[in-house]
Chains A and B, each alone.
Chain A
Amino acid sequence: MVTKQTTSPLLAIRGLITHFQVKETIVKAVDDVSLDIYPQEVLALVGETGCGKSVLALSILRLLPKNSQIEGSIRFNGVEILEASEEELRKLRGKEIGMIPQSQATSLNPLLKVGWQVREVLQLHKTLGKFEAREKVVKLFTRLQLPDPAKKMNYYPHQLSGGMRQRVLVSMGVACQPKLILVDEPTKGLDAVLRKEVVTMLGEEAAENRSSMLLITHDFSVAAVLADRIAVMYAGEIVEMGSAAEILEKPGHPYTQSLLDSLPGRGFKPIRGFSPSLSSLPAGCRFQPRCRDACPDCSALHPKIALTGANHYVRCFLC
């Protein structure tokens, strides 16, 4: 991992702020986030519903609704995404940065054959003939272990099982061998059997394409299997970031600790209280009202993220 970080990052996010104006209030979905993703690295962004992790992914692709406001910098492979034109962005999306969406049930067009949908991604970004593109889709389907790939191309989404649809979506995300794959909650709502399948498949694809991956999940066990590094997000901020092993074994931030302790296999101890609304955040540290080790300082001052070990950052006074 150390060797990886001596090279320059593929994606460098600095001071990213994404806010939404909803009626009179401002929703601070992403607040001052900085992170790097290095070539061939899998970074898992772990957080709970409403912490802003999906908005962060959409910010990278600049696929945000009109009432949003972005500040900061997102550099991908030397290109400043926040200053790129629509044309440049279109070339990045799908080709350089692949996205695997959250819901296998609704992310495919129900009226088009799945083979056509994957081929379209290929033909959009590569000068491939119809025949070559079809060949490529069969190869992709074979690699992703879709049974009877040539035949499956002519199926409509509803004729495939959930697991197979998930494979089709993955094949669309990786079709152009993107340098970076954004994966949004790949296991949400899946049962244990399917979850295991999806996790295995994602790991193989990232290795096969030598892609980097930003894995957005609420599930630590998925992150544990796939990620090199883990960033933990809470209420719009990154509260802890470090190598996967360190985060899972020696979590520094009380939120990470509590979140791990609330897993059924690791104590099953609930965190008290509720996640704050992104439009009315508590003063001081955002986790302080729920924190088991909070001290008076925590409600007065907002902690900065700081280095506590080798590449291990924690946003806490650690009192």
Chain B
Amino acid sequence: MDAALVANKRNKEVVVRSVKRDKLLGFSSAVVLIIVLVGVLAPLIMPHDPISVSFADKVKPPSFQYPFGTDPLGRCVLSRVIQGTRTSLVAAAVIVSISGVGGVLVGLISGYKGGKADSLIMRSVDVMLAFPSIILAMALIVSMGPGLGSVIVALTLVHWTGYARLVRAEVLTLKESEFVEAARAMGNSSSRIIFKYILPNVIAPVMVMASLDIAHIVLSMASLSFLGLGAQPPEAEWGAMINQGREFIRTAPHVTLFPGLALMVTILAFSLLGDSLRDYFDPRLREGYIE
């Protein structure tokens, strides 16, 4: 043990990965927070009435009075984008919470009980997933008549299946785990095991899915409104606004540009939030080293 010590210093870099991830999470949640605030405070921050028509001011470029310009009916585009935020968020929140809660419950019961009920539920989920979701939603809307209400009902009916599948898969592994077996051995009832032992452990992946789902729903809703199946005039909705500005895209691009940008930022923010939440909840990425 008398040999001279050779000192080497290397690999001094520390993991930047976790720092990067935390930054992304912080950034995306900040943007989401701003979007939500805009939606909540919409009536207070809109400079003009989003539905009052003024033919004298139609298709005006951005100016001090109308920062985003006006649309073919002379309505303030900024006010309509702000109102559209509220519309999109409220609809997305309703859809995600109903389909999320419903899907989670179905998944919990299906996964925990197993047997015939499980086969029946999962086969019907498979059938629903076999259709392209937007086509299925369109068919449902057409049968109910176009409008935002129909869009909400249709998208809710289409979206719960994803949660049910996700939760069922998680439950199948969780119910074999030792802590659930221990809970059974202790004498807990099935419902107590489902809600106290299994549910808290599926919340994280559901949150991730919900966040990504909001982005998806906002886009689906805009697409349906663009096609004339969703929001009806004079309601302010991004997809509908883009559709109205379509004819003027060469002469007055601002009419489509701003709702398009709002759509893009919202989708991006929720997608990033979902991705960074996934990393955040993943314990394998949380710890820095292995032994």
Q: In the complex, is A directly touching B at CB under 8 Å?
A: yes
Which residues of A does B touch, CB under 8 Å? 12, 14-15, 20-23, 27, 29, 34, 50, 52, 54-55, 64-73, 80, 82-83, 305, 313
Instruction: Give chain B residues whose Cβ lies under 8 Å from the Cβ of A64.
Output: 11
Q: Interface readout for B9-35 with A: 1 if CB under 8 Å, 0 if not?
A: 111111100100000000000000000
Q: A54-B291, A65-B288, A66-B15 are in contact. Are A82 and B10 (CB under 8 A)?
A: yes
Query: Can you name 8 A-B pairs with beta carbons within 8 Å?
Result: A12-B3, A14-B3, A54-B291, A66-B11, A68-B11, A71-B8, A72-B6, A83-B8
Known A34-B1, A55-B291, A65-B289; contact A82-B13, beta-carbon cutoff 8 A: no
Q: Report the Cα distance A34→B291, complex, angstroms.
A: 21
Interface of B is mostly: loop
- Residues 204-238 of B, flagged 1 when their CB comes within 8 A of A and 0 if not, give 00000000000000000000000000000000000
Contacting pair A22 B288 (CB below 8 A): yes
Contact, CB under 8 Å: A69 / B9: yes
Check if A22 sits within 8 Å of B291, measured CB to CB.
no
Partner of B290, one of A23, A65, A72: A65
Q: Is the CB of A66 within 8 A of B13?
A: yes
Q: Is there contact, CB below 8 Å, between A70 and B288?
A: no
Q: Which residues of A contact B15 (CB under 8 A)?
A: 21, 65-67
B13: which A residues are within 8 A, CB to CB?
Answer: 66-67
How far apart sit A80 and B15, CA to CA, in the bound complex (Å)?
26
CB-based contact A27/B289 at 8 Å? yes
Contacts of A23 in B (CB 8 A): 18, 288
Residue pair B289, A71 in contact (C-beta under 8 Å): no
Closest Cβ of chain B: how far from A25's Cβ, in Å? 10
Neighbouring A residues of B291 by C-beta, 8 Å: 29, 50, 52, 54-55
Chain A nearest Cβ from B9, distance in angstroms: 6
User: Chain B residues with Cβ under 8 A from A20's Cβ?
Assistant: 288-289
In the assembled complex, the Cα of A55 lies from the Cα of B290 at a distance in Å of: 9
**Cα separation A34 to B5 with both chains bound (whole Å):** 10
Could you tell me the distance in whole angstroms from the C-beta of B52 to the nearest C-beta in chain A? 55
Q: Knowing A12-B3, A21-B15, A34-B1 touch, does A69 contact B288 (C-beta < 8 A)?
A: no
Task: Enumerate chain B residues within 8 angstroms of A54, measured Cβ to Cβ.
Answer: 291
Which of A21, A29, A52, A80 is within 8 Å of B6, CB to CB?
A80
Which residues in B have some Cβ–Cβ distance to A below 8 Å? 1, 3-15, 18, 287-291
Distance of A312 Cα from B12 Cα, bound (Å): 35
Measured CB to CB, the nearest residue on chain B to A55 is: B291
Bound-state Cα–Cα, A15 to B4, Å: 9
* A71, B11: Cβ atoms closer than 8 Å: no
Chain B residues within 8 Å of A22, by CB: 287-289
Contact A69 B12 (CB under 8 A): yes
Q: Sorted from nearest, which 5 A-B pairs have the closest CB atoms?
A: A73-B6, A15-B5, A22-B288, A67-B15, A20-B289
Cα A305 to Cα B288 in complex, Å, equals: 31
Residue of A at shortest CB range from B9?
A71
Q: In the complex, what distance in Å separates the CA atom of A94 from the CA atom of B110?
A: 48
20 additional A-B pairs beyond A27-B289, A50-B291, beta carbons within 8 Å, are: A14-B1, A14-B6, A15-B5, A22-B288, A22-B289, A23-B288, A34-B1, A34-B3, A65-B290, A67-B13, A67-B288, A68-B11, A69-B9, A69-B10, A70-B8, A72-B6, A73-B5, A73-B6, A82-B10, A313-B1
Contacts of B288 on A, CB cut-off 8 Å? 20-23, 65, 67
List of B residues within 8 angstroms of A83 by Cβ: 8
Complex contacts, A34 vs chain B, CB 8 Å: 1, 3
Neighbouring B residues of A14 by C-beta, 8 Å: 1, 3-6
